[in-house]
Chain A
Amino acid sequence: MNALASSEVGKYVNDNFCSSFQKVATFKIVGGAKQGGNVATYFCAPDGRVLHAVAGPVDSATFLREAQWVVETTRKAMKDSDGDGGKFKAYFRKAHAQKLRDEFGLAVEPVTFDPPDAQDEKDTLTYRDPSGQPLAPRLPPPPIDGPDVRLQKDELALRQTNAAKAAGAAPVLDKRGGQWVLGNQGKVSQILAAHAMVKIEKVYGTVFENVLGEKISTKPVEVDRPFSWMEKDGNRRASAR
């Protein structure tokens, strides 16, 4: 809640977004016991297609930068696509691939065409949660081609050093087996270079499981408050004091 408590973030978000929340049941098994707790923020079109995401808790400067990126990119995409939905989607996926190059020095080929969806919700082989609903699929990220060849060696090293300092930094392999580093936001850009403008119900599972490493156990559910210790008016709940 640190980032969202910032008045600067609040003003920008309230000016440019309408916000809401859902609870996603996830857990990890640590020492035989269930543990879990994480957060992901999705910036979407009003029809629920995901334009961008912030995986995990971040500071207010990072949150504001990512929110500004999606608003600015949306403006440019609107201008560039001129009402063509296919061009809009392609623009956004290319923008995520470019973000990955600019911030982390790694290249992926954006996927600008979606094949027909193979998963049918009525398929008997589709796994369902206890409520009978199918869970979100784990969308495959596009493979990393390798480093951006236009970068000088020291520029690439600098971007990779920054990637190593990012939250959730972990080794990733490119197509040739070369080892690089990506943090949570780098992994989000990698995934969205192939899956931006996909509905949130198909993306959230990939963000929670592939990026944050949390196991999804049910679909997102609506709850009466996003933070269990906090009332709507901002006062702490009596039981949380």
Chain B
Amino acid sequence: MTLRQKGMALAVAAALGCGGPAVAKTPAAKPATCGEYGTSVQFEDTPADAARQAKKDEKLVMILHVSGHFENPEFT
């Protein structure tokens, strides 16, 4: 296994909390920087913030890529 693979494995292991049955720990108190933007999902301001928070909370990261100039809220 290369050093890079080991590092990745450790990062994933740390992020997912291998020992416990649940992937996520109990969610921490939401920082004031979060927003829901009309959804039920809490969004961090940047992907880097989400990655930092995911490491801290031992969760995965979800990144939404939105494109174009559509105005229809039903679209997504």
Assess whether B9 is in contact with A17, with CB atoms less than 8 Å apart: no
Q: Is A118 an interface residue (CB 8 A)?
A: no
Assess whether B73 is in contact with A78, with CB atoms less than 8 Å apart: no
Considering only residues 90-146 of chain A, those with a C-beta below 8 Å from chain B are none
Query: What is the 8 Å Cβ interface bit string for chain A, positions 41-63, against chain B (1 contact, 0 not)?
Result: 11111111101000001000000
- Total A-B Cβ pairs within 8 A: 235
Q: For the complex, give the distance between the alpha carbons of A199 and B66 in Å.
A: 18
Complex: chain B residue closest to A35, CB-CB: B68
Considering only residues 7-44 of chain A, those with a C-beta below 8 Å from chain B are 7, 9-11, 13-27, 35-44
Interface residues on chain A, size class: 35 or more
Q: For the complex, give the distance between the alpha carbons of A46 and B58 in Å.
A: 9
Chain A binding surface, main DSSP class: mixed
Assess whether B1 is in contact with A84, with CB atoms less than 8 Å apart: yes
Chain B residues, Cβ within 8 Å of A47: 8, 11-12, 51
Residue from the list B5, B24, B66 in contact with A16, Cβ < 8 A: B24
In the complex with contacts A39-B75, A229-B71, A46-B60 CB distance below 8 A = yes
Stretch at the interface among A159-167, A184-192, A220-228: A220-228
Query: What is the 8 Å Cβ interface bit string for chain B, positions 46-58, against chain A (1 contact, 0 not)?
Result: 1101110111010
Complex: chain B residue closest to A214, CB-CB: B67
Chain B residues, Cβ within 8 Å of A45: 8, 11-12, 15, 60-61
Chain B: residues with Cβ within 8 Å of the partner, total of 55
Q: Is A83 an interface residue (CB 8 A)?
A: yes
Stretch at the interface among A149-157, A168-176, A232-240: A232-240
Assess whether B60 is in contact with A40, with CB atoms less than 8 Å apart: no
Complex: chain A residue closest to B8, CB-CB: A85
Q: For the complex, give the distance between the alpha carbons of A6 and B51 in Å.
A: 24
Chain B residues, Cβ within 8 Å of A85: 1, 4-9, 12
Q: Is A210 an interface residue (CB 8 A)?
A: no
Residue from the list B18, B61, B64, B67 in contact with A18, Cβ < 8 A: B61
Chain B residues, Cβ within 8 Å of A27: 68
Least CB distance from A152 to B in Å reads 36
Assess whether B40 is in contact with A75, with CB atoms less than 8 Å apart: no
Q: Is A88 an interface residue (CB 8 A)?
A: yes
Chain B residues, Cβ within 8 Å of A178: none
6 further contact pairs, Cβ within 8 A, besides A18-B44, A45-B61: A10-B41, A20-B62, A44-B63, A45-B12, A46-B55, A88-B9
Please list the residues of chain A having a beta carbon within 8 angstroms of any beta carbon in chain B. 1-7, 9-11, 13-27, 35-49, 51, 57, 67, 70-71, 74-75, 78-79, 81, 83-86, 88-89, 197, 200, 204, 208, 214, 220, 222, 224-236, 240
